């Protein structure tokens, strides 16, 4: 079931670490190769020797072990796996992951990786319920990390409640699920996301308030359904999700080029807030006040419309092209006109008036406009909107 799959297993320091020994055996029984990484704290609970014996593989323990660096650098180690599984994931490890700390081998691997990550938390019930852990979990799952458990039950510390590591069977099943085919397996989807930056001079640019949150959530939801996602992103404040091929761009023109280079695709979802205009007389050096009170005279040209161009391609037009319409007035009427003007299949329309708090916020309320008309969805978290949209895309492509 897991034949040919390489799983980097990061074992965190908690009493549940002993279950990782059985977990490794069970993953190997399914045909997986298990590459174990032990945190310092984990070594207090399980020995490197027993981990190596059950993994049938060398144990990685220290970021500064030069032999290991010479053999396989931590960057390569983090990317050579098909899945990174953190079990048990302690409150400390989750906190490091959510906040981007990288001060030991395990946390550095988790920061450096571009492969999907799954966590199986285990901790005391109060720690699990602590607001900091709730926030960290939301950040991690929002970024596309899958969480298995924890379960409710009696704990080694004598308390009762959620916080027990999931049973080994359940973790193995979640790993198998992760590799199972989804409705979008074998499909290639391009997603654009974030704002673009249009330079005025080397230090100034024209931008917009897009955070990239909705684009990242859509890409994560498509990956979860098995799609291969090329994620073409402007300078967003929300990180790209795990498991996508990231192409980072700055300007609308660079985004246009990247989208064309990523074709062919089965679907293209244009969630980016692309600047309509660029400055044609951008200065090569920083513009300065000259004391006379004269003002810079910026000249503009229109950027290429990526959505319209791709929608109207004669060759290699994706089967499904989806655009977004961020409007402040007459949202549905304007979005319906936009769908016809651009030639795309669907427009996902939303009201970005400041009072909605949608642009840059955590929630979205959208109307999906298709050839059949408009379908308004209730206001929900951007993750939920993304999952619903990904499910609708999967249905349209199959």
**Does residue 306 belong to the site contacting ligand C5P (CB under 6 A)?**
yes
* Look-up of token digits 């795990």: 242
Q: Measured from the CB atom, is 305 or 383 closer to ligand C5P?
A: 305
Distance between the two ends of the chain, CA-based, in angstroms? 25
- Per the CB < 8 A criterion, the answer to whether 312 and 343 are in contact is yes
Tell which positions 309-328 bind ligand C5P, by CB under 6 A.
323-325
What is the number of residues in the chain? 398
Q: Determine the size of the site formed for ligand C5P (CB under 6 A).
A: 14
Q: Give 209's DSSP letter.
A: -
Tell which positions 261-280 bind ligand C5P, by CB under 6 A.
270, 272, 274, 276
Q: Measured from the CB atom, is 148 or 272 closer to ligand C5P?
A: 272
**Does residue 91 belong to the site contacting ligand C5P (CB under 6 A)?**
no
Q: How far is CA 385 from the centre of its chain?
A: 15
Is 344 among the catalytic positions?
A: no
What is the SS3 assignment for 366?
A: strand
**Does residue 305 belong to the site contacting ligand C5P (CB under 6 A)?**
yes
**Tokens representing residue 389 in the block:** 């949209």
Q: By CB under 6 A, which span of 167-175, 180-188, 284-292, 302-310 interacts with ligand C5P?
A: 302-310
Q: Measured from the CB atom, is 32 or 191 closer to ligand C5P?
A: 191
Query: What's the rounded Cα separation, in Å, for the pair 304 and 309?
Result: 8
**Does residue 8 belong to the site contacting ligand C5P (CB under 6 A)?**
no
Query: What's the rounded Cα separation, in Å, for the pair 278 and 299?
Result: 8
Backbone φ/ψ region at 229: left (φ over 0), alpha (ψ -120 to 50), beta: beta
- Residue 147 Cα distances to 3, 82, 151, 225, angstroms: 23, 17, 12, 16
**Tokens representing residue 170 in the block:** 């359940």
Q: Measured from the CB atom, is 60 or 270 closer to ligand C5P?
A: 270
Exposed / middle / buried, residue 218 (Cβ in 10 Å: 0-12, 13-18, 19+): buried
Question: CB of residue 93 vs ligand C5P: minimum separation in angstroms?
Answer: 36
Q: List the catalytic residue out of 132, 154, 156, 157.
A: 157
**Does residue 252 belong to the site contacting ligand C5P (CB under 6 A)?**
yes
**Tokens representing residue 327 in the block:** 């409007």
Q: Measured from the CB atom, is 338 or 382 closer to ligand C5P?
A: 338
Residues annotated as catalytic are 157
| Contact set with ligand C5P (CB under 6 A) | 192, 252, 270, 272, 274, 276, 303, 305-307, 323-325, 338
């Amino acid at each position: 079931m897991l034949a040919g799959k390489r799983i980097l297993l990061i074992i965190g320091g908690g009493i549940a670490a002993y279950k990782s020994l059985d977990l490794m055996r069970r993953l190997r029984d399914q045909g997986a190769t298990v590459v174990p990484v032990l945190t310092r704290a984990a070594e207090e609970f399980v020995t490197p020797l027993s981990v190596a014996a059950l993994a049938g593989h060398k144990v990685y323990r220290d970021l500064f072990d030069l032999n290991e660096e010479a053999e396989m650098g931590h960057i390569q180690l983090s990317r050579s796996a098909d899945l990174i599984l953190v079990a048990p994931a302690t409150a400390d490890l989750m906190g490091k992951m959510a906040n981007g700390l990288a001060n030991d081998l395990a946390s550095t691997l988790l920061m450096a990786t571009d492969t999907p990550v799954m966590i199986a938390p285990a901790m005391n019930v109060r720690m699990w319920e602590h607001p900091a852990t709730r926030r960290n979990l939301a950040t991690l799952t929002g970024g596309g990390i899958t969480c298995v458990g924890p379960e409710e039950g009696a704990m080694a510390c004598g308390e009762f409640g959620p916080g027990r590591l999931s049973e080994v069977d359940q973790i193995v099943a979640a790993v198998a699920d992760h590799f199972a085919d989804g409705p979008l397996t074998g499909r290639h989807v391009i997603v654009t996301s974030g704002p673009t930056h249009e330079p005025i001079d080397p230090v100034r640019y024209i931008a917009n308030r897009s955070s990239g949150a909705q684009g990242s959530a859509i890409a994560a939801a498509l990956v979860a359904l098995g799609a291969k996602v090329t994620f073409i992103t402007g300078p967003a404040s929300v990180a790209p999700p795990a498991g996508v091929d990231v192409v980072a761009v700055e300007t609308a023109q660079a985004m246009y080029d990247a989208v064309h280079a990523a074709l062919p695709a089965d679907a293209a979802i244009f969630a980016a807030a692309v600047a309509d205009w660029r400055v044609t007389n951008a200065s090569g050096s920083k513009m300065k006040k000259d004391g006379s009170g004269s003002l810079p005279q910026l000249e503009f040209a229109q950027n290429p419309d990526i959505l319209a161009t791709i929608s109207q391609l004669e060759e290699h037009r994706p089967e499904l092209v989806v655009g977004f319409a961020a409007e402040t007035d007459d949202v549905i009427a304007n979005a319906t006109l936009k769908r016809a003007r651009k030639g795309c299949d669907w427009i996902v329309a939303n009201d970005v008036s400041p009072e909605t708090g949608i642009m840059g916020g955590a929630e979205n309320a959208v109307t999906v406009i298709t050839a059949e008309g408009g379908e308004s969805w209730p206001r929900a978290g951007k993750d939920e909107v993304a999952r619903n949209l990904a499910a609708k895309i999967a249905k349209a492509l199959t």
